[in-house]
Amino acid sequence: MRELAYIQKIKSLSPIPNADAIEKAEVLGWELVVKKGDFQVEDLCIYVEIDSILPELPCFEFLRSKKFRIRTLRMRGQISQGIALPLSILKEVDPSYNLANLKIGQDMTEVLQITKYDPESALDVETEQTKKSWIERKYSYLKWKLFGIKPVKRDDFPSFVPKTDETRVQKMGSALESRAGEAVYITEKVEGTSATFVYRRSGNWLAKLLGQDHTFQVCSRNRTIYNSQKSGESTHHIMQVAEKYNILEKLKKLNRNLAVQGEVIGPKIQNNIYKLPELELKVFLIFDLDKQAYVPYVELRRLISELELPMVPIIDDETHIRNDIKYYVELSKGKSKINPNILREGIVIRSLDDNFSFKSINPEYLLKQE
């Protein structure tokens, strides 16, 4: 489970203009509003990230109007991202909890029974396929033995492909300092639903002769929603995108073991914030299954061009890492290149040559979504 709450220090406190009861606190790289007098600089607290959902317990009753979800807020002109809780809250959640020996960075997500708000999960629904008969199941087994095409359960996201989920810049800490000056490129972070398209050759001469030389999987963030080894058809929106862009035929022509990853946007997805007339794909990564590594930037651009697929908008591909969290927060602000009439969700910063990456979310965009 992703860490959503953890022990941290109050790095600084500063006044908020025209506010007597609240003040601005800094935790890691986040700025948030706290009640004046609740904390002193260097105090330990439990920092809870935005989009965390706290349990319906008496100590969190003050969040009921927000449906117990931590959101980005603006209070007296100050943007607040996350919440700082006193350590004593642990005793209210679990009276037997031992407060001794708490360490900075210690994960409190499970202790506080926190779950993640995930609107994308509503899109991540299973589309029924025709149930395979006994003969079809045996045929899948024979394909594995004869052709080297291993059956994959339809519900599983492929274990040999990493899921994408960049760390927010506010949590990068020493990583920015240690990698400062390294070449990176910056893309717009697109707000949609994650999609992965996997093409694998069997490498078996008999399979190739019989036209059974590959497996094609179409995946949402958490599961495989279409698998060419199985009978039936999928009507899932991501499968519709695969057909629209003819992704299977393009990957067959390229004839490499690859996983193409991107964001699907458009009608019925995240309220179609880009106001698009139809579903679109924006590719952001390609994973080389043989090397078990993401292809570097130059190769990524080349492959996307060969596959004739649209890429996420590039903001800057001639820049370097700065050890400056506030710089990236400011850089995240601006209009979307997909629809210049709306704010962009944020930016993603990636190394040109390896898989180092992080994201910065536009706080103004988050406020707009609330």
- CA nearest to 362, candidates 348, 350, 280: 348
Whether residues 163 and 229 fall in one domain: yes
Whether residues 26 and 60 fall in one domain: yes
Question: Could you tell me if residue 227 is inside a domain?
Answer: yes
What CATH number did the domain enclosing 49 receive?
A: 2.40.50
pLDDT of residue 156: 77
Question: Could you tell me if residue 129 is inside a domain?
Answer: no
Total count of domains within the chain: 2
Whether residues 48 and 150 fall in one domain: no
DSSP per-residue codes, 334-362: SB-SS-TTSB--EEEEEESSSS-EEEEE-
Q: Spell out the per-residue pLDDT of the chain, length 370, in tens.
A: 689 999 999 999 999 999 999 999 999 999 999 999 999 999 999 999 999 999 999 999 999 999 999 999 999 999 999 999 999 999 999 999 999 889 999 999 999 999 998 876 655 554 434 344 545 555 555 555 555 555 555 567 888 999 888 999 999 988 999 999 999 999 999 999 999 999 998 765 555 555 567 789 999 988 888 887 654 456 789 999 999 999 999 999 999 999 999 999 999 898 999 999 999 999 999 999 999 999 999 999 999 999 999 999 999 999 999 999 999 999 999 999 999 999 999 999 999 998 899 999 999 998 887 6
Cβ partners under 8 Å of residue 243, min gap 6: none
Q: 248 phi and psi, to 5 degrees? A: -60, -50
Q: Angle 237-244/247-254 helices, nearest 10 degrees?
A: 60
| Boundary residue ending a domain (82, 117, 152) | 117
pLDDT of residue 2: 80
Whether residues 84 and 181 fall in one domain: no
Whether residues 138 and 76 fall in one domain: no
Cβ partners under 8 Å of residue 58, min gap 6: 92
> Exposed (0-12), middle (13-18) or buried (19+): which is 354, by Cβ within 10 Å?
exposed
Rounded Cα distance between 24 and 13, Å, is 6
358: β partners: 167, 349
pLDDT of residue 328: 97
Whether residues 43 and 186 fall in one domain: no
What residue numbers bound the domain in which 236 lies? Answer: 134-369
Whether residues 285 and 354 fall in one domain: yes
pTM of structure: 0.84
pLDDT of residue 176: 94
Whether residues 144 and 92 fall in one domain: no
